[in-house]
Each structure stands twice: as C-alpha cells, then as structure tokens.
Structure 1
Amino acid sequence: MTQFWPNAHALVTGAGSGIGAATAVALAKAGVRVSVAGRRLDALQAVARSLGDHAGAIASIDVTDGAAVAKGIAEIEATAGPIDILVNNAGKAGSAPFDKTASTLWGDMLASNLTSVFLVTHAVLPDMAKRGRGRVINVASTAGLTGYAYVSAYVAAKHGVVGLTRSLALEYARRGVTVNAVCPGYTDTPLVAEAAANIVAKTGRSEDEAKAALAKVNPMQRLVTPEEVADTVVWLASTGAASINGQAVAVAGGEVFTG
C-alpha cells in the first residue's frame, strides 16, 4: 500500500486536463489533500469536484509570471496548508523546423516548460526544506532524454527540466526532500491531440492515422495513458520512494532507456 505523511498536501500545476488532472485524482484516491493550479478556472473547478473530501485549494495562476506564482502559492498555503508534494506539470509544446523557429517560440517554450518549473519550485522548496520533508516531481518528457526533430525549443526546455531536477536533488538530499522527474512518451492528452491535428492539417491523414504515427515510436505501439503517468508520480510522492532521488523515470513503453 502506498503511504504518505499524515495530512500530506499536494499541489499539481497544469491540473485542468490530461496528466495533471489524472495525477490530482490519483493522489486524492491515495488519501492526499490536493490543490490544483492552472490557467482555466472552469476546468480546475471540475477537477476539484472530482477530488471529493480531498480537494484543497483552487488557483488560477500563470506559472510563467513570478509575481503571480508567489501570490498564488501564498493563497494556496493560507487555504490548504503547507505544500508537501509539488507536481510541476504545467507546460505546452510548439513545433517548427529550426530555421523557422522564431525567438518568440523559443522564449515561449522555455518560459512555459522550464522557467515555470523554476518559479513554482523556488516558491515552495525552501519551506519544504525548513520542515524537513517534501517531494518535488517534475513532469518532463522523453524529449528531456533524447532528441526529436522539429521541436528543438521544446526539447531544449525539457532537457533543462531534467538538468534542474538532478541539480536540486543533490542540493536538497540531506534536507528531507527528494526531487525527481517523470518523462512520458507520447501520451493520450490534449497536447497530443493537438499534435495529431497538426499532422492531419499538413499531411491529409486521418486523425487515427496521425495518432498511430505518434504511437509508432513506442515499442508497445500505443499511446501512454495519463493514468499510467499519474501512478508513477504517486509512487515517487510516497514515503516508500524516499531513496529515489534525482531520477528521470521514463514512462514510454521502452522507447528510451535511462541509467
């Protein structure tokens, strides 16, 4: 049985859909009080309703804005208590050939996928260390472990997330806090649906054919489910994973190997 600290409180960013929503639900089912953050308040409210008695705070936060993050974290903790488990899931993907990758796309990918992790973690981690307990789980991507063509900005940002994870894991290892990353392959989420739609628009393939093309990189020949990623996050957040630190765990059916 997965165990957590008494009255453990988790914050999941990007919790309105996909992996974030699945993670919030999985943590609540495990008995953790869960606060949810994101940009779409209506989606967050819907997720919070599904958490029942384990629902914590709801916060509409732009995680790329340092002032908004500081304000949002303060409000969450005033409502639901100190954060013991942080799941940095917020992010987005954008694609373009490198020679057509504008500085605006580059900046957006780094802000949304890497700087956001820095800002939220920076607002939460010092207090975890003072209390001597905490888990930080960063939802990265297999793009943080290998390279993919036409998504250079996204790949660079996700590699940065893995690097930040490893650095913080070493810095906080003796202070009761672990920091790990989960690296999903192509997962059946709105982000992948958007990627499939781009394939349809550019190639004329059907949606099923587009999704099959994305799934082809997985040796299991299918998309990962959000629940499979969420289950990995829940384990890393548990007290039983106390010696797992600085790892980038691939949830990708064998597409990439770590070690």
Structure 2
Amino acid sequence: MEHTGKHALVTGGGTGIGHDIAVALANAGAEVTITGRRLDVLNDVAATHDRLHALQMDVTDEASVRDGVATISALRGPIQICVANAGIAEGKAFSKTTLADWRKTMTTNLDGVFLTLQAALATLPADTPARMIAVSSIAGVRGLKGAIPYTATKHGVIGLIRGLSEEYMNTPITFNALCPGYVETDIVRGQLPGLMRRFGVDEDGARALIAKGNRSGQLLEVDEVTAAAMWLCSDGARSVNGQTIEIAGGQV
C-alpha cells in the first residue's frame, strides 16, 4: 500500500489506459479521482472501488479543469500523483485536415495536458513530493502517417514534460511521459470496422494491420502501460525525471 494517504488524479480515467492505472493506484492505497466528460461511465467505474471517485471534467475547458481540481484537492488533499491521460486519436490525410480538426486535437491533447498539470501543481504545498505523468505515444517520438495533428500534439506533450522537469529541478516533483504503441483499447477497437471495409479483411485481419505498428507485431495489453506508470509513481523511480518511457515491443 505504498500510496496510502496520497491523492491521485487520472484524467480520462473511465476507460482504457486511464481506467487501468486508476484502479492500480486505488489498489495501492491512493484516493483516486477519475475524470472525463461522461459522468455515467465514471460513476460506474467509481462504484467498483471505495477509493475511486468520479468527477465530470472537460480538459478542453479551462474553468472546468481549474474549478474541478480545486474542488477535489479541497476534498482529498493535494494531488501528489497526476496522470494526464485524456486525449483523442483521429486520423485523416494531411491534405484533408481542416484547421478545425487541428485545433480540436491540439485543444484536447496538448492544452488539456498543460491545464491539468498546471492545476495539479498549484495544489501542492512547498517541498511536497509528487509524480506528474503524461500519456504521450510512440507518435511523440516518431512521425505517424495519416495523423499529423495527433503526432504534433504528442511531440508537444514530450516537450512540455521535458521543460517542466528542468523548471522544477531540485524539487521533489518528477515529470515523465509514457509513450505506448498500439494498445488493445476501445480506441483501437473503434478503428477496426473502417479497416475491415477499406482493406476487405475480417476483424482479426484488421487487428493485425494495427498491430504492425508495434515492433513486435502484437497489440499491447493495457496492464503493460499500467506497470510502467506504477513504477514511475514508486519511490524507486524518484530519480527518473524528464524521461520518455517507450512501450512498443521493440525500439521505436
């Protein structure tokens, strides 16, 4: 129960990677606030564990983030673990990408991380140890064809993390980014029908096409990303700072 007494915030905590990390933190003793736009989904997850707490929050809305974080810190204390996980993944050819597409992805994936981390840091008394983690992607360390706004935001998240690690150097706060490849989540499953139609393959064939994006040729399981997050939150990772942890079945 390493995190007993700590307050953790996980954005996008109702599904996928965020959900799995939130449950792991709760099992490790933390009081975990999970956020997202769909309160019904969050409430269903929170009902499964006494230390999971739902908060409807939209990371694209500054007031929603700042007011929400202020409220939960008043209830459960400063946010010593923050996992900025909320994001969207949408693909389109660059020539067909509109400025609205660009701004939608930027606002969610980059502005949302900025707001989340800044609001979480504001809850910390001086000299309070904390772990700040952003979920980036392998698209943050290499180009991703057909998803230019997404690629740009994930590169931006890594730049944000590296800059913060320098700005808060010599404090007990660390900043790191997780860079998973293609993970078996609802986002990936949602792409299967389109791939099946486009390439004339069945569901297994579509899943195999996505899995080729990982060096191992296999989709990752959510628990692999969670394990990396839990390590970064541990006392043993107290000197790991400003790093990108790539989880993709091989070199990216």
TM-score by length of 1: 0.93
Match of 1:44 among 20, 42, 45: 42
Instruction: Tell me the residue number matched to 1:119.
Output: 115
Q: Is the 8 A contact 1:113 1:158 kept in 2?
A: yes
Take 2:235 and 2:168, find their aligned partners in 1: how far apart are those partners? Answer: 16
Match of 1:206 among 202, 206, 219: 202
- Cα deviation for residue 79 of structure 1 reads 2.1
Take 1:61 and 1:131, find their aligned partners in 2: how far apart are those partners? Answer: 28
Instruction: Tell me the residue number matched to 2:2.
Output: 3
Extract unaligned runs of 5+ from structure 2: none
Other structure's SS at 1:235 match: helix
RCO comparison, higher one (Cα < 8 Å, 6+): 1
- Over residues 119-169 of structure 1, what are the superposed CA-to-partner deviations in whole Å (9 max), with x where a residue is unaligned? 111111133362421110000000001111100000000000011010001
* Farther-moved stretch of structure 1 (188-197 vs 121-130): 121-130
TM-score by length of 2: 0.95
- Does residue 254 of the first structure (1) align with residue 234 of the second (2)? no
- Cα deviation for residue 45 of structure 1 reads 1.2
- Does residue 157 of the first structure (1) align with residue 156 of the second (2)? no
Take 2:176 and 2:213, find their aligned partners in 1: how far apart are those partners? Answer: 24
Other structure's SS at 1:174 match: coil
Q: Is the 8 A contact 2:73 2:123 kept in 1?
A: no
- Does residue 78 of the first structure (1) align with residue 74 of the second (2)? yes
Runs (4 or more) in structure 1 with deviation over 4 Å come to none
Counterpart AA for 1:19: I
- CA 1:100 to 1:32, structure 2 compared with 1: closer, same or farther past 3 Å? same
- Over residues 153-205 of structure 1, what are the superposed CA-to-partner deviations in whole Å (9 max), with x where a residue is unaligned? 00000000011010001111212100000001000111111222321232332
Counterpart AA for 2:167: E
Identity percentage of aligned residues:
43
Take 2:69 and 2:186, find their aligned partners in 1: how far apart are those partners? Answer: 26
Q: Is the 8 A contact 2:78 2:125 kept in 1?
A: no
Other structure's SS at 1:15 match: coil
